[in-house]
Amino acid sequence: MNIAWLIVVLLVVIFLQGTLYRRWGLKGISYRRKFIQDAVFEGETIDMVDEIANKKLLPIPWIRLESKMSPNLLTQTEQNRNQQEGEMFHRTLFSLLPYQKITRKHRLTAMKRGYYPLQTVSVTTGDAVGFGEVFDSFNAHTAVTVYPQIVAIDDIPLPSHSWLGDITVKRWIVEDPFLQAGIREYQQGDPLNSINWKATARSQQLQINKKDFTADHHLLIYVNFDIHEDIRMPIEQPDIIEKGLSYAASLASYAIEQGISTGFGCNGYYVEPFVNSTERIKPSVRIEPSSSGQQTGYIMDAIAKLKMDRSRNFRGFLQEDIDHGVTQSDIIIFTYAVTEKMEYQIAQLESLGNAVEVVPLGHAGAERRDAYAG
C-alpha cells in the first residue's frame, strides 16, 4: 500500500512539474547572440558568443539552442558531423539556476567568402525527467561578413608587374594619351597613330609623340562572372570566379595602399537584403574609384556580399561604361574568357582614352573561347 501511494505521489509530482515547466519553462528566459567581430578574412577564426539568462526563481534543468548556419561557418567538429548527416545546424545545451546568466563562446572558422546572417534561434526546454518539452523561437539578429582571401601580388597573373614595383610616388604611373612630353625615335611595336609627321619630315626618321605621365587616372578592377553569355545558365565553375574575386580584392588592397584611386565592378549582384529580389534586372555592382582610407573596406565588403549569380552578361556591363563615356581609367579585367564582342568593347574603351588589360582565369587559348561560346 505504501509503495502504491509512493507511486501515485511520484506520478503527481511528475505531472505537476511537467505542467509547471510547460507553462513557465521559457518565461523569463532572455537570449542574445553576437560575433566578436563584424568581419574577418577567409580562413580566419571568429568567436561567436551566446548569452542566455534565467530571470526567474524556477531553475531550468536543461535548455537547448538550435540554429541553422552555413557549413562555411562552423567548428571543425560540427563540419565533420554535418557532412555525415547532411545537416547544417548549430546546437548548444545549457542548464540554468534561478537568476543565472551564462555566456558561452564558440570559435568558428570562416571557410569561404560571403555574408552570413543569423536570424532566429529555436529554443527547447522541458522538465527534469524529460516527459514534456516546450518550444519557441528567439530573435538573434546578427551577421558576420567574410572577406575574400588575400594573396600576394606576385601570385596574381598580371600581364606585367613593372608598374607595381615602380610606384615611388602616390600616383598611378601610366602614359596619358592626351599629355605630350616631347618626341622620340620610332621603335618596333609603336602605334602608327602616334607618329609625329612634322618631326619625321625634319629629321628624315620616323618620330613618335612621347606621352607624359599623369596622376589623374583611376584604376578600375573588374571581374567577369560569365562562363557562358546566357545569364539563364548557372555558373558552372564558381571556383574560377572566386579566384578572380580574390585577385581583385588583393590588387585593390595593394593599389589603395600605394595611394592609387581604385574602384571595383562586376556583372554580379548583392545577396539579400542588399538587393531588392523583386527587381527583374538587378543593378550592376560598382564601387567608384577612391584612395581614401575607407576604400579598401568598401571594396572588401562589396566583394564579400556578392551572390554567385549574374545581373547581366559582361558585355552589357562594359557597354554601361561606354555609354557613360568612362575615360582616363586603367581597367584590369579578370575573366574566364574573352569573346569577339568583348574585344570590340575593349577597343571602344581604349578609344575613349582608357588602358585595358585582361587577366585570364581559365584555360588558355581556344579552349576558353569554345567553352565560353558553348
Average pLDDT estimate for 216-239? 84
- Average pLDDT estimate for 40-66: 91
Average pLDDT over the chain, rounded to whole?
A: 80
Q: Which domains, and CATH codes, for the chain?
A: 27-147 (2.60.40.10), 153-173+215-373 (3.40.50), 175-213 (no CATH)
Integer Cα distance of 372 and 362 in angstroms: 10
pLDDT confidence bin for 16, thresholds 50/70/90: low
Question: Model-level pTM?
Answer: 0.75
Lookup result for grid cell 585593390: 252
The angle subtended at Cα 26 by Cα 20 and Cα 31, nearest 5°, is: 160
Return the pLDDT at 52: 92
Q: Angle, nearest 10°, between helix axes 238-257 and 295-304? A: 170
Q: Report whether pLDDT(117) > 70.
A: yes
- Asked if the model's pLDDT at residue 346 lies above 70, the reply is yes
> Which cell numbers in the block locate residue 163?
608598374
| pLDDT tens sequence across 265-321 | 999 999 988 876 667 778 889 999 998 889 999 999 999 999 999 989 999 999 999
Reported as a pLDDT band with limits 50, 70 and 90, residue 263 is: very high
The rounded percent of the chain whose pLDDT value lies above 90 is 37
Q: Pseudo-torsion of CA 244, 250, 256, 260, nearest 10°?
A: -50
**pLDDT exceeds cutoff 90 at 144:** yes
Q: What is the mean pLDDT of residues 185-213?
A: 68
pLDDT in tens, 70-103: 888 877 565 544 444 445 778 888 888 999 999 9
